Structure formats: structure tokens, C-alpha cells
């Protein structure tokens, strides 16, 4: 088919669409829905991926998080073996600090245990706290940047002084933007003096609350004597993260007496590892997106095939005239395939506009979610919409090309 014939075919297709606007729109509705799903969900996933990736990398490339099982983003529940693992201990943190030359600092982080934790100041209450006990070095890893006041000191930790630093949202709820440093708060019946207010961490999921209250480690042990669960925050020397991870793993296996033929009974995580876990989960979401959008595209493709069969029937006499004037079977096939591609292509364009509108609406509704229409989603939308036209237009085009010109000319 020459370029002129292709332009002519596009013109014929546009004339047919203008003559049957409602029919054309309903025909391509499935393509519109499928393409808009790809663009809309793809943009939300791309924005969420950017936000989570930036969040995790802001933890610092030299930071290792050690817990007794994989935490954060994971697929599936804990295994029976994971549920029975012994908690990490303060002594393990000291062993790592003493025996791992690639490690700059280790901060134990003690969790208070299950239950509803509450903070109170005068008549203001704040529930669902994240209470943790740690050491002065925890702030050195960039996990606790201060808005006002200071982080607690090693002296306050060793003397078990009742001091605390609080998260930004806890501060706003309890003090309503009034100076908090020097004030006393009640946490689960224990009184602590606020020495600092922490800035919301950059390493936090979009839209999450900063409901942290951090206490000196030994103060935490005194206030919550039954607490046992530890997390270890390990800061490696620059450029020695891999060596630090190997050293930490060796020390933990020796201290926890893990047989050489058994897997680790703990988990060491880095920012890059968490990013891989997150992207493994989003890959499943993307697969579900493809399945859902393919349903709409299948419906749209069947509609296109149906309308093209109707078009072949309506234009039987025209096909006979073209064949009588010398048109080849290939010319007829290409003409009807061009019309099918134009039809689905317009549906794809409408779907992209709808998907872009979805991404903008998501950005407006969730200002913390920086949605962005990815190039791969646009390319996939174009390829899929054109492919639908080609695939479902083959049968009607072949039927038109097989018509006998004499019988077609007699058709009324």
C-alpha cells in the first residue's frame, strides 16, 4: 500500500467514525478503559516507587538494620520457625561493636512490647505511639534530626534519667505548637521530661504520622522491664557496607550458636534490599493491573471486530467495485486493518487522556504521592491499542478480501 493509499484509508476511517460517533465510542470503550488503567495505575505506581525509593535510600547507604526476621515489605506470613526465634539482645550489639572492624557504631533499639501506648500532657492525649529505647549514637545515623532541643546523651542513658525526645506529630497533638522542651509528659503512667522534638524522618512512608517517643535505652529498660524485642541499627564505615554485613552475620551466627548447615535465624537488611523487596511487591501489583486492563482490552477488541464485520457487510458493494477496478486482496486487507487501527488508536488516545486525569486526581487527593506518567506506560498504551486493532481486525479484513467481486456487485 502506498502512502497516498494509507492516507486515503485513514480518511475513510475518520469519515466512518464521524458518521457513527456513538457506535464508534461504544466500540472503543473497552480500549479506553484498558488503556486508562495502564496509564493511571502505572503513574501511581511510578510515583509511589519514587517516594518509597527516596525514603529508603535516605536511611543512608551505610546503615544496616538487624532483626530476628525480615521486617518491612514482605510477601506472606511468618513461618513457624520465624515465630519461635529468640529475640536479639543488648549483648549482641556490644559483641558486634567490639568484634566488627568495619562497623562504626551499633545502636540497640528496644521495643516496649504489644499493647496500646498512650502519651498525655495536661488535657491532651495521643494514642498508638511508637515507643523505643536506644542510645545517643542512634541520632548519628541521621534517624533523629531535631526541630528543637537536643537528643539525649550517653550520661542520661547510663544514669537512667527520665528524659525523652518526641516526634513531630506527637508534639503537635500534645503541645499545639507551644514550646515542648522542658515540659513533662505522661507515657503509660511514667513521667518523662521532653528534651527535644524530632523532625518527621525523610525515611518514612508517604502520608505516615511521626508518632515516635524515644527514651534512653536503660531508661526504657527501667520503665518497661518486660520488654525483650530488640532491633540493631548498625552504621558501617564508608565503602565497607558489604564487609560490615559479613562481619555482623559471622558474629551473630557464633553468638546465637547457629549450626554451619542451618540458615540464619536473623535478618540483615539494607536500603537496597528493602527497595528490592518493595519492587517485588509492586511487580505483583503491576501484574494484577495487566490482568484487569486486559479484560477491558479484550472486550474492546471484540467490539472492534464486531463493528468491522458490520462495516464489511455495509460496504460489500463498495468492495466489489474496488475489486472490479483492480484492487488486490492485499489492498482490501490493508484498508480495513487501517480502519481498525485508527479506531483503536483513537480509543488509546482517549484512554491515555483519562489515565493522565486519574494520575492528576490522585496527586490532588494525596499531595504526598508524587504521581508521574511513566514513558513505559505511554509506550505500552500505544502498542496495545494498535495491536488490538491489528489482531481483531484481521478476520473482518480477511472476510472482505475474500468476497467475490461479481457477488459483491450484486449485493443490495
The domain boundary residue, chosen from 216, 235, 270: 270
* Same-domain status, 265 and 330: no
The domain boundary residue, chosen from 245, 270, 295: 270
* Same-domain status, 280 and 264: no
The residue range of the domain holding 230 is: 63-270
Exposed/middle/buried for residue 80 (C-beta within 10 Å: 0-12, 13-18, 19+): exposed
Closest CA to 295 of 11, 14, 38, 19: 38
Contact 147, 197 (CB under 8 A): yes
* Same-domain status, 222 and 245: yes
Q: Are strands 63-67 and 267-269 parallel, antiparallel or unpaired?
A: antiparallel
For residues 112 and 228, what is the distance between their CA atoms, to the nearest angstrom?
A: 8
* Same-domain status, 18 and 91: no
pTM of the model: 0.64
Contact 100, 272 (CB under 8 A): no
Using DSSP, state whether 169 is helix, strand or coil. helix
Angle between helical axes of 329-365 and 271-314 (0-180°, round to 10): 140
* Same-domain status, 46 and 135: no
* Same-domain status, 184 and 287: no
Contact 198, 167 (CB under 8 A): yes
List the Cα angle 234/50/168 in 5-degree steps.
60
pLDDT tens for the chain, residues 1 to 412 = 555 656 666 676 677 677 777 777 777 777 888 888 778 777 777 777 776 666 666 556 678 888 888 765 555 567 788 788 888 999 999 999 999 999 988 889 999 877 788 899 988 898 888 899 999 888 876 667 888 999 999 999 999 999 999 998 899 999 987 899 999 999 988 999 999 999 876 655 555 678 899 999 999 999 998 888 898 988 888 888 889 989 999 999 999 988 888 888 888 887 677 777 777 777 777 777 777 777 777 777 887 787 777 777 777 777 777 777 777 777 777 777 877 888 888 888 888 888 888 888 877 776 666 677 777 777 777 787 888 888 887 887 787 777 766 666 665 5
Q: Are strands 212-216 and 130-134 parallel, antiparallel or unpaired?
A: parallel
Closest CA to 16 of 27, 31, 2, 1: 27
Closest CA to 213 of 236, 197, 234: 197
The residues pairing with 130 across neighbouring beta strands, listed in sequence order, are 212
Q: How many CA atoms lie within 13 A of 253 on its CB side?
A: 14
Please state the domain count of the chain.
2
* Same-domain status, 202 and 344: no
The domain boundary residue, chosen from 240, 270, 300: 270
For residues 290 and 39, what is the distance between their CA atoms, to the nearest angstrom?
A: 11
C-alpha cell belonging to residue 310 = 458490520
Amino acid at each position: 500500500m502506498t502512502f497516498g493509499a494509507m492516507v486515503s484509508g485513514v480518511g475513510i476511517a475518520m469519515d466512518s467514525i464521524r458518521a457513527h460517533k456513538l457506535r464508534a465510542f461504544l466500540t472503543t470503550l473497552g480500549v479506553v478503559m484498558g488503556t486508562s488503567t495502564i496509564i493511571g495505575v502505572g503513574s501511581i505506581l511510578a510515583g509511589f516507587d519514587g517516594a518509597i525509593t527516596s525514603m529508603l535510600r535516605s536511611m543512608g547507604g551505610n546503615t544496616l538494620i538487624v532483626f530476628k526476621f525480615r521486617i518491612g515489605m514482605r510477601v506472606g506470613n511468618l513461618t513457624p520457625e520465624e515465630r519461635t526465634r529468640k529475640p536479639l539482645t543488648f549483648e549482641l550489639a556490644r559483641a558486634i561493636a567490639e568484634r566488627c572492624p568495619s562497623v562504626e557504631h551499633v545502636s540497640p533499639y528496644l521495643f516496649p512490647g504489644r499493647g496500646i501506648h498512650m502519651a498525655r500532657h495536661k488535657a491532651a492525649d495521643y494514642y498508638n505511639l511508637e515507643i523505643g529505647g536506644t542510645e545517643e549514637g542512634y541520632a548519628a545515623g541521621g534517624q533523629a534530626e531535631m526541630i528543637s532541643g537536643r537528643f539525649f546523651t550517653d550520661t542520661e542513658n547510663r544514669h537512667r534519667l527520665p528524659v525523652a525526645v518526641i516526634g513531630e506529630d506527637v508534639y503537635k497533638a500534645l503541645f499545639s505548637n507551644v514550646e515542648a522542651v522542658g515540659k513533662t509528659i505522661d507515657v503509660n503512667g511514667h513521667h518523662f521530661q521532653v528534651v527535644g522534638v524530632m523532625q518527621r524522618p525523610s525515611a518514612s512512608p508517604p502520608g505516615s504520622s511521626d508518632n515516635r517517643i524515644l527514651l534512653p535505652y536503660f531508661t526504657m529498660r527501667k520503665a518497661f522491664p518486660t520488654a525483650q524485642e530488640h532491633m540493631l541499627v548498625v552504621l558501617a564505615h564508608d565503602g565497607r557496607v558489604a564487609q560490615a554485613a559479613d562481619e555482623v552475620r559471622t558474629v551473630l551466627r557464633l553468638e546465637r550458636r547457629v549450626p554451619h548447615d542451618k540458615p540464619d535465624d536473623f535478618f540483615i537488611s539494607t536500603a537496597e534490599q528493602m527497595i528490592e523487596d518493595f519492587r517485588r511487591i509492586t511487580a505483583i501489583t503491576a501484574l494484577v493491573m495487566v490482568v484487569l486492563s486486559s479484560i477491558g482490552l479484550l472486550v474492546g477488541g471484540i467490539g472492534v471486530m464486531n463493528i468491522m464485520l458490520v462495516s464489511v457487510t455495509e460496504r460489500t458493494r463498495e468492495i466489489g467495485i474496488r475489486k472490479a477496478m483492480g484492487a488486490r486482496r492485499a489492498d482490501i486487507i490493508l484498508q480495513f486493518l487501517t480502519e481498525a487501527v485508527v479506531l483503536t488508536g483513537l480509543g488509546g488516545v482517549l484512554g491515555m487522556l483519562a489515565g493522565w486525569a486519574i494520575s492528576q486526581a490522585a496527586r490532588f487527593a494525596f499531595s504526598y504521592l508524587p504521581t508521574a506518567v511513566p514513558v513505559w506506560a505511554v509506550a505500552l498504551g500505544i502498542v496495545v491499542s494498535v495491536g488490538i486493532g491489528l489482531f481483531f481486525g484481521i478476520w473482518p479484513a480477511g472476510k472482505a478480501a475474500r468476497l467475490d467481486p461479481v457477488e459483491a456487485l450484486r449485493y443490495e
